[in-house]
Amino acid sequence: LDILINNAGVLSPPFDVTEDNFESHVGINYLGHFYLTQLLTDLLVNSKARVITVSSESHKRSDITSDHLTGDIPKLFHPPADRSFPLDYDRYNLSNRARIYFIRELVKRHPQLSGVSVHPGIVHTDLFRSVTGLPRFFAACFSPFLKGPDVGAETSIFCATAELGEANGGNFKDCRLAKLPDGAIDPVIQKRLWDVTMALCERVKPE
């Protein structure tokens, strides 16, 4: 296995939690990628593979704090008590920040691997299919001006095949390394997020 591209994602799905009772955005967009990659780690390491995780610039609108990572089941993975589109969007943003942390910690812990996170741009896909109300209206209005899926895939394909060098673990946009906002990455949070996610993966692992 030479290349793994983690691309699955949801926005405001019609269900609050996954089958394992994790908040749907974080459970699918982040935990699902993390768990799949862990299941494939031996194969990936043996082939010195490249791992690409699709994220979004929306991560800039949220921040994972130590409070999100406390509790037997950390708060980041809890469904919100009040479900609405703004709250959904916040969870979507958090899941994208988590994906950036994930790829950075992955290549740190497994130096045999290379990998980056990618912002593909706003792409005309089915991501907005479950969104309702004004957000759905605006999505429909702007859809003719969005990137097509083929263009949206360009940065992922570029990062899957390009020499990364010192950009390993970085975040890419438009086939170029993108600078993260100052203070966006907290090494303590990055490590803690990895540790609590590994613990959750152990819980859901089949016997």
How many C-beta atoms lie closer than 10 Å to residue 35's C-beta?
Answer: 18
Selection from 41, 176, 202, 40 nearest residue 121 by Cα: 176
Phi, psi of 139 (to 5 degrees): -60, -40
Query: Which residues touch 92 (CB under 8 Å, ≥6 apart)?
Result: 11, 12, 25, 29, 56, 58
Residue type, 118: V
In whole angstroms, give the CA distance from residue 59 to residue 26.
12
* Beta-bridge mates of residue 16: none
Strand 114-119: give its sheet, edge to edge.
3-6, 50-54, 114-119, 171-173, 176-177
Identified catalytic residue from 30, 35, 89, 101: 89
Question: Token digits for 116?
Answer: 């980056």
Query: In angstroms, rounded to a whole number, what is the distance separating the alpha carbons of residues 59 and 81?
Result: 22
Query: What residues contact 108, with CB distance under 8 A and at least 6 apart?
Result: 169
Length of the chain: 207
User: Is 89 marked active-site?
Assistant: yes
Active-site residues, by number, are: 89
